[in-house]
Amino acid sequence: MAPAQKYSTTKNPHVLHIASGDLWAGAEVMLYTLVKSLHTDLEIKITVVLLNPGALEEKLRECGITVQIIDESQFNGLQIFQQLNNIIKQTLPDVIHTHRIKENILGGIAAWRNGIPSIRTTHGAPEHRPPLYKIPKHLILLTDRLLGRYCQQNIVAVSPDLAEILKRKFPESKVLTITNGIGIESLRRNMPPHSANNNGHHHIGIAGRLSPIKRVDLFIEMASYLKQHNPELSIQFHIYGDGPLNDSLQIQAHSQQADDYIHFEGHCENISQELQSLDALVMTSDHEGLPMVLLEAMCLQTPIIASAVGGIPDLLEQGKCGTLVRKHTAKAFSEAVINLITKPKQHQQLALMALERVRNHYSAKHTAETYLSVYQSLLTHKNSEKKLK
């Protein structure tokens, strides 16, 4: 049995988050938004351990949040665990909150060892399972699953669809749904609403990590299809993000002679500014949890065209707040883009509905309050168990 830890009995617990921090992508934006609201709006003591320095570290420090770096490029897994364990002993958190598989494993074991309740947030469905011969990867997935089942108290899904997937792997009683939130007014205050005015030129974008599940290859196919079948339209396509498929996607675009109208913009620190200039944000993913970039687009009233997968239909209220594409083909996405170009007022109305939906259901403070109630319930349960012993 794990040794006992002294817990705070105060209303506001000290929460330790563990995350990678290697990119500024959806999971990092969600973590930043959550801990900023916990720290600023709810006055919760937060410590964040990151396995990489970078944009997330800088933004958290700017908010006055304590950040500790254990650089995974300099230490192996055992060394990272030892340093993490030392940080836990020094800071004495009441709850540990992990993000992604590596942090789930390191944080889950460290939490169990120190007798601290822990939860994880699952930001999206797992990508394709590794081939059978990649035994180490299968062992990592198995370890992650066992820790979630037996050592962590809650598994948080960011959408109802994702929760149903997780209930097949973990005890149903452990799985919670807490949708992502966004700092609506601060985003709109720092960035005026959508105002694309491109003098007859149309700009269509996609934003995200260049990985298989995002299907940026389909976005490129869509762009090529549109140019081939609608040569009279002046459309430029922008790909924001970086990732393992960057080179192969650029080769694909070049092979389709699309270099003059498909632009690889790379990693973008201020994606909101780019969203503001687009006629539409397109999302061609095979699966999504609750994409932060869609929440940002909704805040800025940028029209959305997205796959009807994962948490997206709920987020877009089954098409009332954006266009849902149910056929995962270049032709289907192309038709949606043409509809947007030819019926701009209709899509502006959808974008206005999207803004109202985010205001009513996806505020950062509401999400933070929901997580706080989970943290408090974990401590209440743990303290009641101690009294019975």
> Is 306 inside any structural domain?
yes
> Is 145 inside any structural domain?
yes
Question: Do 223 and 358 belong together in one domain?
Answer: yes
Question: Do 119 and 228 belong together in one domain?
Answer: no
Question: Do 369 and 358 belong together in one domain?
Answer: no
Closest-CA residue to 207 (of 238, 247, 244, 250): 238
At 176 the three-state DSSP class reads strand
Distance from the first to the final alpha carbon of the chain: 13
Question: Do 98 and 242 belong together in one domain?
Answer: no
Query: Is the separation of the CB atoms in 361 and 295 below 8 Å?
Result: no
Question: Do 121 and 220 belong together in one domain?
Answer: no
Query: Is the separation of the CB atoms in 241 and 273 below 8 Å?
Result: no
Domain count, the chain: 2
Task: Flag residues of the chain having pLDDT under 50.
Answer: 1-10
Q: What's the pLDDT score for residue 194?
A: 57
* Strands (E) located in the chain: 14-19, 45-50, 66-69, 95-99, 118-122, 154-157, 175-177, 202-207, 235-240, 262-266, 280-283, 304-307, 323-325
> Is 104 inside any structural domain?
yes
Q: What's the pLDDT score for residue 9?
A: 44
Phi, psi of 158 (to 5 degrees): -90, 0
Q: What's the pLDDT score for residue 130?
A: 72
Question: Do 207 and 272 belong together in one domain?
Answer: yes
Find where tokens 């209709």 sit.
346
> Is 5 inside any structural domain?
no
pLDDT in tens, 174-213: 999 999 999 988 888 766 655 665 667 899 999 999 999 9
Residue type, 119: I
Question: Do 349 and 379 belong together in one domain?
Answer: no
> Is 71 inside any structural domain?
yes
Q: What's the pLDDT score for residue 1?
A: 37
pLDDT in tens, 49-96: 999 999 999 999 999 999 999 999 999 999 999 999 999 999 999 999
> Is 2 inside any structural domain?
no
Rounded to the nearest 5 percent, the helix, strand and coil shares of the chain are: 50, 15, 35
pTM of structure: 0.86
CATH of the domain at 158: 3.40.50.2000
Q: What is the DSSP string of 181-198?
A: -B-HHHHHHHSPPP----
Question: Do 219 and 164 belong together in one domain?
Answer: no
Q: Which residue(s) pair with 283 in the sheet? A: 306
Question: Do 28 and 121 belong together in one domain?
Answer: yes
> Is 241 inside any structural domain?
yes
Question: Do 124 and 218 belong together in one domain?
Answer: no
Q: What's the pLDDT score for residue 389?
A: 57
Q: What's the pLDDT score for residue 3?
A: 41
Question: Do 323 and 231 belong together in one domain?
Answer: yes
Q: What's the CA dihedral at 268, 273, 277, 280 to 10 degrees? A: 70
Question: Do 307 and 202 belong together in one domain?
Answer: yes
Q: Tell me how far apart the alpha carbons of residues 110 and 287 are, in angstroms, rounded to a whole number.
A: 31
Range(s) of the domain holding residue 315: 185-362
Q: Tell me how far apart the alpha carbons of residues 119 and 12 are, in angstroms, rounded to a whole number.
A: 17
Q: Which residue(s) pair with 263 in the sheet? A: 238
> Is 109 inside any structural domain?
yes
